[in-house]
A and B are shown apart, each in its own frame.
Chain A
């Protein structure tokens, strides 16, 4: 089950561009591209949440960091992927290391709130970047290119996002299965014991935060390219909440659950939105029911209960 579901999910994503959807084909690709961008962000959050029990309520900050790396370089006529990625990853790593060092002093709900606080600071800071549109946001002049090759245009975006999502997923899976991942989970269960075994829980958790932040920044780079726009709105606490919802709904800790959660949220919003303007009246109760009746989230459906 743990292998079959992700395999099927990625196979479905790979197949989408080849299915004829008729006139709405372009829109379907756009929507699924959006699913993949948020799935990458959600998977990186799940590394913290499911792997390390660290409930970050400020993960959207990294979306904005990635997006603004694209925007700021774009304004300076740089759209080369390596430069953009280096900037996005570097900034995300720095931010994660700096804020993580403070946040990891706290536990439980205090950790939730302190990560939120740092994300709010990113939100207000992005809004005061007058040179890059301030609150109005920044419209990209050109999409990011790889050695002058437009890898993020049209179907190229879909392919690139797919490859990055797959790579991100496999990386997280490897990390979770590795000794690093086992230590991370062990810290969650028994901190003292891990310490006694000679590991430094703080370093391990901080490393996880840095990796997750960098991965989410990649999603931010993709989001900026997908909408050709960078906006402080990417860092709002509501957006961080959306990411949390995707992970929890999908089933925290399974990684592919985050993918299912992202797909479910993006596509269901779209489908319900077509039905009625008041789609939240259906979506809200669905969330409540899913918590009450599907323990373990979407990834847990059909899986063995433990």
Chain B
């Protein structure tokens, strides 16, 4: 029973990390109707910048701050140079262009930092741990990750629902032409949203860096997971992304815990060792397919009049 609770906690924590990445993606998608495949490399870029700045300044916190800012600025630069020319274009053009950005940035990181994975030490203040169950300690850092995920969720919800910019973002998401006609500088609004999205991805990259391997292409598989999250949640919905991220995190973590055991009862140990992990890998895709089969627009589709 304790184990199950611990696993649920792990699932929530993975879900919040996914939310950090998915939030920016769903914002950009919801407001600009723009498929940004490059969101994953922005996460990678954040991690690399974090390692670089933390190394230069000797402080994790300064690294986190600088990396998030630079990631956001890079996002704004990309938006100005490339992406803003593609807002009105078909999704296909956006896919092709952002794919080109993925190739370029992945390779640029290899050229600049080499192919060998890098190390990001934990900040001293958070490097402690406490007893979770017998023999298992839970790092304080992961608690910080959970708190950061929740703070971002609350902050975004407040910004989108209670501020003027948020109102414009919501209005832009449901009818960009109308907002523009009302005299709002929609271009500036889009740049702002894009910068926030890129900054969130970069922030997630730095936060994940002490836990995972900082290496080229580290964002590619995460991008797919983030898309799964926003599709389940309903494109453009922060609330949807939050619920779906927790759902994916829990399904993935608990699935890995229980699927093989379940198959063991049904098929015997050796067959279960073969089938179980394959099914556990498929699980989130099965969930997504099931959700979409029942609710083709996802759980919380954003209202859109187009």
Contacts and interface: CB of A to CB of B under 8 A. Distances in A.
**A and B form one complex:** yes
Interface of A: 49, 55, 102, 105-110, 112-114, 116-118, 120-121, 124-125, 127-128, 130, 237-238, 241, 244-245, 248-249, 252, 278, 280-281, 283-288, 290-292, 295
B107 A288 contact: no
B289 A280 contact: no
B293 A102 contact: yes
A281 B216 CA distance: 14
A113 B296 CA distance: 11
B282 A113 contact: no
A164 B285 CA distance: 34
B236 to A, nearest CB: 10
19 contacts: A55-B92, A102-B293, A107-B296, A109-B35, A110-B292, A110-B297, A113-B228, A114-B231, A114-B289, A128-B275, A237-B224, A241-B99, A244-B95, A280-B106, A288-B101, A291-B86, A291-B89, A292-B82, A292-B86
Given A278-B110, A290-B96, A102 B104 contact: no
A117 B100 contact: no
B238 to A, nearest CB: 17
A127 B274 CA distance: 10
Contacts of B102: 284
Contacts of B286: 117, 121
Interface of B: 29, 35, 82, 85-86, 89, 91-93, 95-97, 99-108, 110-111, 220, 224, 227-228, 231, 235, 274-275, 278, 281-282, 285-286, 288-289, 292-293, 296-298
A121 B286 CA distance: 8
Contacts of A118: 285, 289
A102 B289 contact: yes
A291 B82 CA distance: 10
Contacts of A238: 220
Contacts of A281: 104, 107-108, 111
B82 A106 contact: no
A120 B29 CA distance: 23
Contacts of B296: 105-107, 110
Contact of B99 (A102, A106, A287): A287
Contacts of B235: 108-110
A196 to B, nearest CB: 21
Given A108-B91, A117-B289, A292-B85, A284 B100 contact: yes
A105 B286 CA distance: 15
Contacts of B86: 291-292
**Interface SS, B side:** helix
Nearest to B227: A113
A263 B141 CA distance: 50
A130 to B, nearest CB: 7
A292 B103 CA distance: 17
Nearest to A114: B292
B288 A117 contact: yes
A237 B101 CA distance: 17
A139 B134 CA distance: 49
Nearest to B86: A291
A109 B231 contact: yes
Contact of B104 (A120, A125, A284): A284
B231 A252 contact: no
A285 B292 contact: no
A291 B224 contact: no
A287 B104 CA distance: 10
A302 B15 CA distance: 49
B91 A109 contact: yes
A245 B96 CA distance: 6
A248 B274 contact: no
A105 B285 CA distance: 16
A281 B298 CA distance: 37
Contacts of B292: 102, 105-106, 110, 113-114
Nearest to A290: B96
Nearest to B290: A102
Contacts of A252: 92
A285 B285 contact: no
Contacts of A249: 96
B100 A287 contact: yes
A55 B91 CA distance: 9
Given A49-B92, A124-B278, A292-B85, A117 B285 contact: yes
